Amino acid sequence: MKQRFTVRHGALDGVEAFLAVARHASFRKGADALGVTPSAISQAVRALETRLGVALFARTTRSVGLTEAGQRFQEHAGPAFEELTVAAQAARDLGRKPSGLLRLSVPRGVLPRIVQPLIASFCRAYPDVELEIAASEEMVDLAARGFDAGIRMGQFVEADMTEIRLTPPFRLIVVGAPAYLAAAGKPAKPDDLKHHACLRIRRSSGAIAPWRLVENGNPLDVVVKGPLIASEFPMLLGAARDGLGLAQVPEPMASEAIAAGELVQVLAHLAPMTPGLFLYHPGRKQVLPKLRAFIDHLKAASSLAPPARRNTAKKKGPSRAARER
């Protein structure tokens, strides 16, 4: 049967004092090494011996030596205490300067516009930081999956996250290739979508997302059908460019293809507005220097990152997310 294990309060008290005395074979020299009084180090060692139920030192008026129990304790406690010291120093270093592994969860469609232009300059500026980017549309639990931060559209970020705005609000637009529209016609109203091949996206929850439109100022969810279901916007955009059907995608993602004449926007008067893209993380108290450095670097280097501002749109959740200014 698996036993329950707990570390008793104060179990490590006196260990550093014991090791200092054992190293110098002297209570006075051990006290000097730790910057405490001989009386204090003697009391700490005696308390440790009392807890262990065995004498660790053989004391005389002329010398201090280890008992057999003390020798065994030193053999095991010495290396273990060194490991604890190294671990504590490593943790302190992470809190003092940008270093360690920085893990970000980023949608694939965002990488080329916001993250990719910053990777080389950030890595050169902070050589002690290892940058890991997981490209995925999945809305991950940052803490459970070991991520420091993520990037998502504002409407999908949980209300208890701290958010930093990366882009202004933008529209979700419906686009199609000129050849497809020439053959199938341009839809003029939501009901016309019943007669079109509409490319759809599956959310990380497993549900196929309806198309969100706005009619007379009111949100309208339209269930559409078509030949392709994908998990990311870039795939839908590519399929629409190839003439497979209509796709609803973020406007910035489709702007170059529209300007090049590869895609045409339809139902423009029904396009809904989204809050834009945000970098989000669990909170200000949990921002290590490595993440703060990335946030500052992103704000300074990216032309797509305007000053952060509070999003006044209401969001579901127990509390309003804090926005950094």
Q: What is the pLDDT of residues 258-309, one digit of tens each?
A: 999 999 999 999 999 999 999 999 876 667 889 999 998 888 865 444 433 3
Distance CA 48, CA 229 (A): 66
Quickly list DSSP for 12-80.
TTTHHHHHHHHHHT-HHHHHHHHTS-HHHHHHHHHHHHHHHTS--EEE-SS-EEE-HHHHHHHHHHHHH
Residue 21 carries which side chain, given as an amino acid letter? Answer: V
Instruction: Name the range with the highest mean pLDDT among 3-17, 153-167, 292-306.
Output: 153-167
Distance CA 94, CA 141 (A): 22
In contact, 164 and 308? CB cutoff 8 Å:
yes
Q: What is the pLDDT of residue 88?
A: 66
Looking at residues 113-142, what average pLDDT do you find? 89
Helix (H, G, I), strand (E, B) or coil at 248: strand
Q: What is the pLDDT of residue 77?
A: 85
Residues of the chain with pLDDT > 90, as a percent, come to 46
Q: What is the pLDDT of residue 320?
A: 37
Instruction: Name the nearest CA neighbour of 243 among 148, 175, 192, 162.
Output: 175
Element (H, E) at 212: strand 211-215
Of 138 and 130, the structure prediction assigns the larger pLDDT to 130
Looking at residues 159-188, what average pLDDT do you find? 94
Domains of the chain: 15-96 (1.10.10.10), 100-168+275-301 (3.40.190.10), 170-274 (3.40.190.290)
Q: What is the pLDDT of residue 109?
A: 85
Three-state helix/strand/coil letters over 261-284: CCCEEECHHHCCEECCEEEEECCH
Instruction: Name the nearest CA neighbour of 105 among 152, 162, 160.
Output: 152
Return the structure tokens found at 235. Answer: 């795939």
Q: Is the pLDDT of residue 105 over 90?
A: yes
Distance CA 281, CA 145 (A): 13
Q: What is the pLDDT of residue 169?
A: 94
Q: What is the pLDDT of residues 70-101, one digit of tens each?
A: 889 898 888 888 877 776 666 665 566 888 89
Q: Is the pLDDT of residue 203 over 90?
A: no
Q: What is the pLDDT of residues 65-74, one digit of tens each?
A: 889 888 898 9
Lowest mean pLDDT among 92-101, 127-136, 205-214: 92-101
Q: What is the pLDDT of residues 214-270, one digit of tens each?
A: 998 899 999 999 999 998 999 999 999 999 999 999 999 999 999 999 999 999 999
Beta strands 198-201 and 211-215 are: unpaired
Distance CA 197, CA 246 (A): 6
Task: Find how far residue 161's CA is from the centre of its chain.
Answer: 11
Instruction: Name the nearest CA neighbour of 102 among 309, 305, 285, 281.
Output: 281
Average per-residue pLDDT in the chain? 84
